[in-house]
């Protein structure tokens, strides 16, 4: 386990942008449970008020509705700034997908990162950037290590997200090297669990929805493309450990258990129990969809003492229960 930084302990005051999002809301819960004061910020473009409604009576939680691409003012001292605000779904048919929010996505990654880094600098605060496995693009290295530079299309449909995150990483390291800001970068791989968008168009949501309706699960391509799915509780634990560490370089946080999309679909079909089966469509779901995705988490193990604990079956069971609750089933 890596040595903890001076941040360790309760009574820190932490800003989380994207606080009403899937990951941001879970981070709010975790930090509040650890005794910290949380300032949540969101403009509800993709975040949901329901995700933080249960925090309205918590004296240690304050919410500010604001677009991070505009100048940010937060009264009082901050000990940490966590920039998690950004659309994240590649689904062009979803209103929350970044193909339908291209300018907002670029601004959240560029202007939002600039504004939050400036806030961290002014407060001499720890800064965390929520980056993504998408900075590796359609990787030619497998599994992906943090030292891999990536294989990314800079002008494709996905570029508004991929390049925004790559720019954000570069800006974060510039502030660290030039201004001495205490920064860190978490590269997040596919994550699922309660509070995820049920209509974001990605594999988890699509398969669970179809399985609950008793429909055949639609697999795009031959189904042999791979992903590695991390349950949200494991991810939040890794993010918390990284925030409290002295690490400045990017760290992959994800589950290294690689599975084909076909296998994943059959797992959900079996779990839901309606046994509708699968149907295959020749074309790929999204333009530029990576063929393989698997994190190398050697650095996370070494510097954080972290690795995922929740099995795919257990995580999916909890996620299916959430979807049933959302749909009133």
Q: Is 321 helix (H, G, I), strand (E, B) or coil?
A: helix
Our answer to whether residue 148 is catalytic in this structure is no
Q: What are phi and psi of 58, to 5 degrees?
A: -85, 120
How far apart CA 83 and CA 165 sit, in angstroms, is 11
Written as six digits, the tokens of 110 are 């560029």
Q: Is 219 helix (H, G, I), strand (E, B) or coil?
A: strand
Q: What are phi and psi of 98, to 5 degrees?
A: -65, -20
How far apart CA 55 and CA 142 sit, in angstroms, is 41
Residue 15 bridge partners (DSSP): 39, 81
Written as six digits, the tokens of 181 are 């800001």
How far apart CA 288 and CA 98 sit, in angstroms, is 14
Written as six digits, the tokens of 163 are 């390049």
In the set 98, 136, 161, 231, the catalytic residue is 161
Cβ(295)–Cβ(167) under 8 Å? no
Written as six digits, the tokens of 278 are 């699968």
- DSSP readout, 236-285? HHHHHHHHTB---S-EEES----EEHHHHHHHHHHHH-----EEEESS-S
Residues acting as catalytic residues: 161
């Amino acid at each position: 386990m890596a040595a903890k930084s001076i941040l360790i302990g309760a009574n820190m005051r932490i800003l989380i942008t994207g606080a009403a999002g899937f990951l941001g809301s879970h981070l709010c819960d975790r930090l509040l449970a650890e005794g910290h004061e949380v300032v949540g910020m969101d403009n509800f473009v993709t975040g949901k008020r329901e995700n933080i409604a249960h925090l309205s009576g918590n004296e240690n939680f304050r919410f500010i509705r604001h677009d991070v691409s505009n100048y940010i003012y937060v009264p009082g001292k901050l000990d940490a700034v966590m920039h998690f605000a950004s659309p994240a779904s590649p689904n062009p048919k979803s209103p929350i997908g970044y193909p339908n929010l291209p300018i907002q996505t670029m601004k959240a990654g560029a202007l939002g990162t600039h504004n939050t880094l400036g806030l961290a600098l002014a407060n001499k605060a720890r800064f965390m950037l929520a980056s993504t496995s998408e900075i590796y693009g359609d990787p030619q290295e497998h599994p992906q290590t943090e030292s891999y530079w990536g294989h990314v299309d800079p002008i494709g449909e996905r570029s508004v997200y991929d390049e925004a995150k790559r720019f954000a990483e570069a800006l974060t390291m510039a502030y660290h090297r030039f201004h001495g800001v205490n920064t860190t970068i978490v590269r997040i791989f596919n994550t699922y669990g309660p509070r995820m968008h049920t209509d974001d168009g990605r594999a988890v949501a699509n398969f669970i929805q179809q399985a609950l309706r008793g429909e055949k699960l639609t697999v795009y391509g031959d189904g042999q493309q791979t992903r590695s799915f991390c349950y949200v509780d494991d991810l939040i634990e890794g993010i918390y450990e990284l925030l409290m560490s002295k690490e400045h370089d990017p760290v992959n946080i994800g589950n290294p258990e690689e599975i084909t999309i076909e296998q994943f679909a059959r797992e959900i079909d079996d779990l839901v129990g309606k046994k509708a089966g699968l149907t295959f469509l020749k074309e790929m779901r999204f333009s530029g969809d990576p063929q393989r995705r698997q994190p190398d988490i050697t650095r996370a193990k070494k510097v954080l003492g972290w690795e995922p604990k929740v099995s795919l079956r257990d995580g999916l069971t909890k996620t299916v229960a959430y979807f049933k609750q959302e749909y009133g089933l």
